[in-house]
A and B are shown apart, each in its own frame.
Chain A
Amino acid sequence: MSSQVIASTKSRARVLTEAEISEIEHEKTLYPDNQAVGLEALKIVQNHQGWVSDESLLAIAEYLDLSVADLEGVATFFNLIYRQPVGKNVILYCDSVSCWICRGDDIKDYLSEKLDIDYGQTTADNEFTLIPVPCLGDCNNAPVMMVGQDLHRNLTKDGIDEIIDQYRNKSA
């Protein structure tokens, strides 16, 4: 890597916050090397910032002395690391087989229409991002989805209305 590229990497990195650094330092005590900490740091930064921007990724690579390419390879591999901005509430909608058998697709269509977004999109008011997720392990309550950290079970169209209102009211 030329020194110019390295210099540009450094100049584009943002400054990690104290809270982020202290959490990353805690992870260092749990794993024997920085590569393992790198993936944890991506989760930490996302937890604070909502997503992992280029500037965040570069900052982690620099802080932990990791290859930017390796870290990007990891960040883009995993489903739960977001390399694009997401809305205030991320909806993980189960699109696996048990929910599908229980007509989860119909509910998803209703949800999509209601929010006017499809998978991978964010509502115009930045409230919700809709992402498909493999089996959430709650198949006896299919169809299910997760909003933030909350699991919503036995979904119906009426239920969807209530759930969405609940989150809208929370942020209003």
Chain B
Amino acid sequence: MSRPPLDIGAYEANDGYQSLHKIAAGMSAADVLETIKSSGLKGRGGAGFPTGLKWSFVPQGESSPQQKYLVVNADEMEPGTFKDRLLMEGDPHLLLEGMIISAYAIGASKAYIFLRGEYHGSVKTLKKAIAEAYEKGYLGSNILGTGYDLDIILHTSAGRYICGEETALLNALEGKRANPRAKPPFPQVSGLWGKPTIVNNVETLCNLPGIITYGIDWYQGLGKGADAGTKMFGVSGRVKNPGVWEMPLGVTIRELLEDKAGGMQDGLGLKAFLPGGGSTDFMLPEHLDLALDYDEISQKGGSRLATGTMIVLDDQTCPVGMIGNLMKFFAHESCGFCTPCRDGLPWVDAIFRDFEAGRGSEKDLNILKEQVEYMGPGRTFCALAPGATAPLGSGLKYFEDDFKEHIKQKRCTYKN
């Protein structure tokens, strides 16, 4: 961060909390829901599910449970993903304002922020911002005279990647082992302590104040392609200027990688990249002119936009080693609940260690290909192992020559 986080005065001077005044002037919860639905906002946590649609599954009316919850998924732990931290440490009130909008729309009187335990900087900025918001009457009882009450509780995680899965997150918040839950019932109907619950990602919530304050037309006009709004895009790896930027959805990958991240470091070439964190399929230099929007990346790039934070593989770093690093991560972070993931990932991890040590074989290569099927979508309880098969399956396809060289030369060919 190049500047201190905005305090509430600076935030308000820049249209901060204007959306709440607009709501207080006469927007019902149903109006807010309808506005977000029409805006076309898709969840920014990775899955890209339409936010308004998700909210609409929460039962409303007198016969619905009185207690409803909003939970913020601030458990940023996807390898190569560093966007939510920037938002929480750079503009904490934006998140709080988004939370108040979301909680109001679904009728939640209590909201928990499930924050990554290692994010000590975010703890400080959020604690201060929450206290300021209470003081100004944006939180607590009878917010801006609307009769609506909301309390926000900051919860820090004890640390496991699986907590990013929304039902595992709810178990962790309840003090249980963070195994994912069976769906249905979906959290929108029966979530935290069995009550209707919406889990939204930090960046998703940060989109809400602008939509309410400036309107749907303004928001949709921000996007350059099919999708509405902007997105936080990041680049890490051996590029000249790694970082994270807010850009319109629909800009090209080339604009992000070359104009913002400055291209590759001197002497290095671009070999491939993961477009949105460790759980996405590799893409190649031939894909650079595709637009960064949800459909284009999946339909033409064979991958997913997911978190929008790109991990760049240069031509002097071993792709087998890179995939091996990811497999070690996934093997360690498997919650151990279902067999394909619990047993499959450590097996895959062990094979990559063999490749690293020069003991990889053709037979191993076939086992890896089989595991892509066994741990793929539909075979496991949650999306963790299928996420792991994304870089694994695409890597086996794109870097077959590299795997074969390791087998032939009985060593990692990228090392001297």
Contact = CB atoms under 8 A, between A and B. Distances in A.
A86 B321 CA distance: 31
A98 B311 contact: yes
A149 B116 CA distance: 13
B397 interface: no
Contacts, number: 132
A92 B309 contact: no
Contact of A138 (B85, B161, B313, B329): B85
A97 interface: yes
B244 interface: yes
A137 B238 CA distance: 16
A106 B199 CA distance: 39
Interface in A16-43: 30-33, 35-40, 42-43
A74 B84 contact: no
Chain A interface size, as a band, is: 35 or more
Contact of A136 (B118, B157, B178, B317): B118
A98 B236 contact: yes
B266 to A, nearest CB: 15
A155 to B, nearest CB: 14
A140 B236 contact: yes
Interface string A35-61: 111111011000000000000000000
A135 interface: yes
Interface in A87-102: 92, 95-98, 100-102
Interface string A103-147: 000000000000000000000000000000111111111100010
Nearest to A79: B159
B326 A35 contact: no
A35 B329 contact: no
B185 interface: no
B3 interface: no
Contacts of A95: 325, 328-329
Interface of B: 76-82, 84-85, 116-121, 153, 156-161, 172-178, 193, 234-238, 242-244, 278, 309, 311-314, 317, 321-322, 325-326, 328-329, 332-333, 335
6 pairs of A and B residues whose beta carbons are closest in the complex: A78-B158, A139-B236, A79-B159, A80-B159, A140-B242, A36-B175
23 contacts: A35-B176, A39-B175, A42-B158, A74-B175, A77-B160, A77-B177, A77-B335, A78-B158, A95-B328, A96-B80, A98-B79, A98-B237, A101-B311, A134-B79, A135-B82, A137-B77, A137-B81, A137-B82, A139-B242, A139-B309, A140-B242, A146-B118, A151-B121
